[in-house]
Structure 1
Amino acid sequence: MSGVSIDLNADLGEGFGRWTLTDDERLLSVVTSANVACGFHAGDAVTMRRVCELAAARGVRIGAQVSYRDLAGFGRRAMDVPAAELAAEVAYQIGALEVFARAAGSRVAYVKPHGALYNRVVGDAEQAAAVVDGVLLAGGGLPVLGLPGSRLHEAAERAGLPVVAEAFGDRAYRADGSLLPRGREGAVVHDPDAVVERSVALVRAGTVTAHCGTAVSVRARSLCLHGDTPGAVELARRVRAGLEAAGVTVGAFA
């Protein structure tokens, strides 16, 4: 089969002050889209500026990775935020990143929720609509990256925003196509060979084996490579090499 293509995205800029987590420079030599932390779960002004400059210099598309306001919990704690407040905070994060993207000669090309917000908007219609309202408030009609079949994508489509379906080679799936929560055993796939095999299957066949052993259909245009896992850069390189060896063209969706 020919003509198969995929975007590779990674969460970048996940540091704050003197604390760093992701190897942004080396990951930007592998991925085609960068989900840049906008200060609410990680990231600060200096980090955002640096990552935008590095991404622009390498031709990597810049995405706003918006989150609940949760620096202490890295945006992975469940929170209840009023819809109007969440919409304003999403717009605020996009706007902050846009300043640095434009200064680097690029622009914010899409939006992706992070962590607890990402998982919440899979099934919560109200929070999903609030995120979309925030994207609209920021202007530009930006594409929304998220899990296929999510309430987020339904809300984005109703609002006329482009949607981009995302898959995960290193995360375990449930039978309904959602991700196994990080607190569950086996939620993150650590074996590099397994991650490469799953990634190729997701892209070439559009399927992944769920945690319970059943096959799940996942049609995606972007594949996420987590930047905060040990050995993330080498794993990302192996995944990209495995995809290209399988005849997949790697390129940005936006």
Structure 2
Amino acid sequence: MTRETEYTPDKLQELGLDSQRLPRHIAVIMDGNGRWAISRGLPRIEGHRRGVQSVRTIVEECARIGIEQVTLYCLSSENWKRPQEELDLLMQLLEQYLVEERSEIMRQELQFAVIGRRDGLSEGALREIDRTLEVARDNTGMRLCLAINYGSRGEIADAVRRIAEQVRTGEMTPETIDEQCISEHLDTAGMTDPDLVIRTAGEMRVSNFLLWQISYAELFVTQKYWPEFRLPDLIEALQSFAARDRRFGGLKG
């Protein structure tokens, strides 16, 4: 998506949005793919395939609207408990997505990032992740971040280990460890914290997703399954966000 096709302030106003009250960073828990498929008598993997269409729509529209970053929860570290056949198909789908969407990532000038552990990912998925990171490294548009084999508790534990090692080697002292220090050792170092978390399929939990980073994020939960989530649902989430009174622990002035 080229910059000429971004939404104008007038277009945003038509949608009930104010360019000054948009979230900078949206994080999405894409839930309900399997349930969507089962409810229609389809194999669970068909829900994941249909979910890719929602990814395409939401990423493109967020870039047009002017969102700075979208982080998608693609595969949690707990998802390895699922049947091996489904996991194998998810790896194939991830690899296919990266291959097919690479040209769109470049056309839209999207920055590309991945958070999570590489252990357990298929060779093909790792290869395509690295290729996409390489070709998109100079892009300057919206950042698309995929959380793959990601778990926030594990991320924080990894950060603590890195900090502990730096204390052990004398690179820092315990007195220098503060919130900023911890943030700089997380997978999301250098990224802004999410302002808005969208969760589909009606679940009222954050599922070990960006626990440190979403401390002050606004939550939007929809009953719709992820394969059903489209532009009108995104607009509803953005309208809901704009209506919130964000005080960050303070009092309204």
Give the TM-score normalised by the residue count of structure 1. 0.40
User: Greater strand percent: which structure?
Assistant: 1
User: Greater helix percent: which structure?
Assistant: 2
Give the TM-score normalised by the residue count of structure 2. 0.40
Kindly indicate whether structure 1 or structure 2 has the higher relative contact order, using CA contacts under 8 Å at least 6 residues apart: 2
